[in-house]
Each structure stands twice: as structure tokens, then as C-alpha cells.
Amino acid sequence: MESKSLMVMQEELKKGHAICQVTVAKTEGTTPRMAGTMMVVKKDGTISGTVGGGSVEYEAIKHAQELIAQNRCELKEYEIKTDKGMVSGKVCLFFKIFKPREQLLIFGAGHVGYQLYLLAEMLHFTIVMLDDRDGFLSEERYPHAKIMAGAFTESMEKISFHEDTYVVVASSSHKSDEELLYALVNKPHAYLGMLGSQKKAERIKSNLLKRGIKASQLDALYAPIGIPLGGRQPEEVGLSILAQIVKVRNEKL
């Protein structure tokens, strides 16, 4: 049962879903499960494994869902009661939240994209480099990133987007940047930004509004991207982008 629950954990994290592992940490008196027993609770409340069933497990599932939403671990004690309401034992449950690793998607392996990659790998993001041009991606140049070459639309279908996904659009043309944003605004993400000038950003936003994208979605778009640092070199622009991403990430904690 435990091995199955661990497999469920791995599958959910791979899909980009946070989960809660509930473990019996300590028992006292008569309890249905021994210390070490565990179950996995998904965001929707479905479970794998058991910590004893009954009202305690029901309450634990609800509490696990709350903790997933709050991204918080906790140790909590429950009383085991008989049918007559007498306390027969106590169980202490440890709720531990597991979240998928934060992923950074960089659409465009140009000079800025490369510098952003070099900086971001030091912060332990799962980095995905994407480019639709031949010869721009290689394992030698991006040894610590997942490489996805070819049409952006096809590459996006293979990505699991989730609430800890950070996206930077820096492709080779204004047209592809617009098409990427059109597809990406409706994907789950923590951050979505586009490289370019204020004039470019205004023009693309105007086009997206005409294509049915909501103004509220565009208000959440970081364009022009990055925190103004006054520099124009690729490494300086990369630093300004990563600084903004880190700021957004820390504000979520």
C-alpha cells in the first residue's frame, strides 16, 4: 500500500500538482493504525493509503486540503472515540506538503535567453529552453536544461504547466512573441513576461485584446519584462529579468 502511495506522489508531482503526505507520527492508547502509517492526499481530496479511516481520517483529509492551499506543514493531534463518545486513544498526524519543483520556461535561445539560463541555474529552477530555429539549442550549451527544439505549439503540448511555472517570452520575432502570449495567457503560471520595448508591448497587447484576450490577463503580463537596472547588455537584461522573477516568487511565499 505504501509503495503505491509513493508512486501516486511521484505521478502527481510530475503532473505539476502539489500533494500532502499524512503520516501517523505517534499513537496513544487504542488506535486503528501504528506509527509510520501514511496516506497521500491530492488537492481534490482523493487519497491513496489510509491512516485508519473513520472521522479522524475524514477530518485529516479536509485539513490536508487546507494545508495544500496554504503551502504549510503541520503536526496535529486527534482523539479516537468509541461509539459512546469515550476517548480510547490519541493519534498525532504529521502533514507534509510536497510541491513540484519551480520550472522556468525560456522561449528563445538568443543572447538574453542564454544569459538568463546561466543565472537561473544557480537558483535551482527546472529550466526548459525552447527555440523554433535550427542550431540554437544543444546539450553542450545548455547542459542543465531540458531542450525542446521545433515548433513552439508542438513543444507546449508536451509541457505540464502549473502554479509554479515561470515563463519568459524572448523569441526571434514579434509575430511569434504575440502567438506565444496568445497561447500562454490561458496556461497556469506564476509569471509571464515578454522581452521588448514599451512600444512593442503596447502594440502586441492591443492585438491580443482584439483577439479576445481579457484586459485583466494582460494587466498581469510583465511587458516590458524585467526590473529597470539601466543596462542593455544581455547579461544585464538577464539579471533584470531574473530579479523580477525572484521578487514574484518571494512574494508568493
What pTM was estimated for this model as a whole? 0.77
pLDDT digit string (tens) for 170-190?
999 999 999 999 999 999 999
CB burial of 59-95 (b: ≥16 within 10 Å; e: otherwise) equals ebbebbbebbeeeeeeeeebebeeeeeeeeebbbbeb
The pLDDT of residue 42 is above 90 = yes
Task: Specify the long-range contacts of residues 204-212, CB closer than 8 Å, at least 24 apart.
Answer: 204/174, 204/177, 204/178, 207/178, 208/178, 208/181, 208/182, 211/182
User: What's the pLDDT at 6?
Assistant: 86
DSSP 25: E
User: What's the pLDDT at 30?
Assistant: 84
The pLDDT of residue 230 is above 80 = yes
Higher local confidence (pLDDT), 96 or 14? 96
User: What's the pLDDT at 1?
Assistant: 58
Choose the weakest-confidence range: 58-67, 83-92, 241-250: 83-92
User: What's the pLDDT at 152?
Assistant: 96
Q: What is the mean pLDDT of residues 75-86?
A: 84
The pLDDT of residue 229 is above 70 = yes
Domains and their CATH numbers in the chain: 2-98 (no CATH), 103-252 (3.40.50.720)
